Amino acid sequence: MARLATRGPRYTSYPAAPFFTETFTEEDARTQLRAEREVAHTKGISLYAHIPFCSSLCWYCGCNVKVTRDRRQGLAYVQTLLDELRLYRELIGEVELAELSLGGGSPNFLDIDTLKLLTEGICELFPRRQDSLLGIELDPRDTSDEQVRALAALGYQRLSVGVQDFDPEVQETIHRMQSVEQTSELMAGARAAGFTSAGADLIYGLPGQSPETFSKTLDAVIAMAPDRIALFGYAHLPQLRVHQKLVERKPIPGIDERATLLCAAVEQLVGAGYKRVGFDHFALPSDPLAQAVEDQTLHRNFQGFTIARGGPLLACGVTGISDSGKAYWQNLSEIDQWRSEIEAGRLPVARGIALSEDDAIRRSVIYRLMCTGGLEFDGLDQSLAIDSRSYFAAELASLASPAMSELVEIDRDRLDLTDLGFELVRNVSMVFDAYLAGKPPSGSTTI
């Protein structure tokens, strides 16, 4: 596996975020939103609210965070978030909230009153319906029992908890000390308070990790029985995130070691009864995400693998990325700039892209590969109104080459990922990516 690794997008969007441009303006975002009004009124919207604050910096962090212990900043930020949502509401009218996700950063940075103000404010603008799903990312090092109970009372059902690795030496190297007890108490407390789903995020490829130490982390996580587990490869990109240089005090696993860590972790999780959901998620068979694999209703977006719920995904807060269905746009990353745009009555758009017809076709192919593990050509022809065998003749020829043929099996009717291709689905997807042609590999490693 290691010899086939390269660098490339994770395809939480297509085109990938580095190909968004500043020629896409806030007026373009407004036009796109107006065009999606009807869909939003029929299906509702998904909302992502980005809370960028953390009270300390993890040195592996790849997010755009604002490190502060001044909790008062949370209230001012949330007041502006609600103003941003009022702009959305003016554009698309009163539509129902199908799903709400609070992520960051650390949403638990907000105190209980501010979480209440935010959640109730959102639900006033976009009313909840009976099947609305509310989820939140929580940091076990910094979340109180009272916060968990208040969140459950506000209607949050899903929590996702950052774990990464429980080994004390790895934790010291990455500057994130978090005990097994803190984590299991948070999950148990949330379940007791009424949360119905808990997820845990893990990272392989961190400095100082070994298959033995990581296996102990997995044992501890499995014992907590989270409904979902996300297993991400560490993306060491110090040229973009200068603070990541701080983790270089310990050797960072190379490609061979990453492949070993990944294969051992997959075996352990599957052995413990978890079903694979795409290349980096796992779910208990009872979880709707595992069911979505069976029903072929799995979807991919900025939060990874999800269940298709339809309607536009609107993001609010700094760096949030919206997906209207036919366009993506990303918000400004500096809080002051983001706020002044909103105060001036403008959507705080930094860059974006409107999908061409070819983009929409390629996105559909890449998502199908990632969500179902294969392509059925007649089905593609029907749903995309193309002759897929000839539209993708060059891509299929490239995939039949000796270098790629270990990743796919292709016959007259279908293309299927092999087991190796399932792990390296990003490599296969890159063949269908028109934006990468002639460009050197960049981004995170595909293992």
Query: Which residues make up the interface to ligand SF4 (CB under 6 A)?
Result: 54, 57-58, 61, 63, 65, 104-106, 139, 162
Three-class DSSP category at 3:
helix
Q: How far is the CB of 56 from ligand SF4 (least distance, A)?
A: 7
* Beta carbons within 8 Å of 207's beta carbon, 6+ residues apart: 170, 173, 174, 247, 248, 249, 250, 251, 252, 253
Q: How far is the CB of 3 from ligand SF4 (least distance, A)?
A: 31
Q: Quick one: 88 exposed, middle or buried, by C-beta within 10 A (0-12, 13-18, 19+)?
A: buried
Q: Quick one: 35 exposed, middle or buried, by C-beta within 10 A (0-12, 13-18, 19+)?
A: middle
Q: Which is nearer to ligand SF4, 30 or 243 (CB)?
A: 243
Q: Which is nearer to ligand SF4, 106 or 143 (CB)?
A: 106
- DSSP per-residue string spanning 333-395: SSHHHHHHHHHTT---EEEEEEPPHHHHHHHHHHHHHHHHSEEEHHHHHHHHTS-HHHHTHHH
Q: How far is the CB of 67 from ligand SF4 (least distance, A)?
A: 7
Q: How far is the CB of 169 from ligand SF4 (least distance, A)?
A: 18
Q: Which is nearer to ligand SF4, 132 or 147 (CB)?
A: 147
Q: How far is the CB of 64 from ligand SF4 (least distance, A)?
A: 9
Q: Which is nearer to ligand SF4, 24 or 302 (CB)?
A: 302
Q: How far is the CB of 164 from ligand SF4 (least distance, A)?
A: 8
Q: Which is nearer to ligand SF4, 138 or 292 (CB)?
A: 138
Q: Which is nearer to ligand SF4, 6 or 68 (CB)?
A: 68
Tell me phi and psi for residue 416, to 5 degrees: -125, 140
Name the packing angle between helices 72-92 and 26-35 (round to 10°).
Answer: 50
Nearest to 425 by CA among 359, 391, 375: 375
The residue with tokens 């779910």 is 283
Q: Which is nearer to ligand SF4, 37 or 175 (CB)?
A: 175
Tell me phi and psi for residue 337, to 5 degrees: -65, -45
Q: Which is nearer to ligand SF4, 139 or 257 (CB)?
A: 139
Q: What is the dihedral of CA 62, 67, 72, 78, to 10 degrees?
A: -10
Q: How far is the CB of 63 from ligand SF4 (least distance, A)?
A: 4
Q: How far is the CB of 247 from ligand SF4 (least distance, A)?
A: 12
Q: How far is the CB of 394 from ligand SF4 (least distance, A)?
A: 40
CB atoms near residue 210 (< 10 Å): 16
Q: Are 40 and 95 in contact (CB under 8 A)?
A: yes
CA distance 123 to 293: 30
Q: Which is nearer to ligand SF4, 47 or 54 (CB)?
A: 54
Tell me phi and psi for residue 69, to 5 degrees: -105, 5
* Beta carbons within 8 Å of 181's beta carbon, 6+ residues apart: none
CA distance 404 to 415: 13
Q: Which is nearer to ligand SF4, 50 or 368 (CB)?
A: 50
How distant, in Å, are the alpha carbons of 19, 321, 352 from that of 23?
11, 16, 8
Q: How far is the CB of 163 from ligand SF4 (least distance, A)?
A: 11
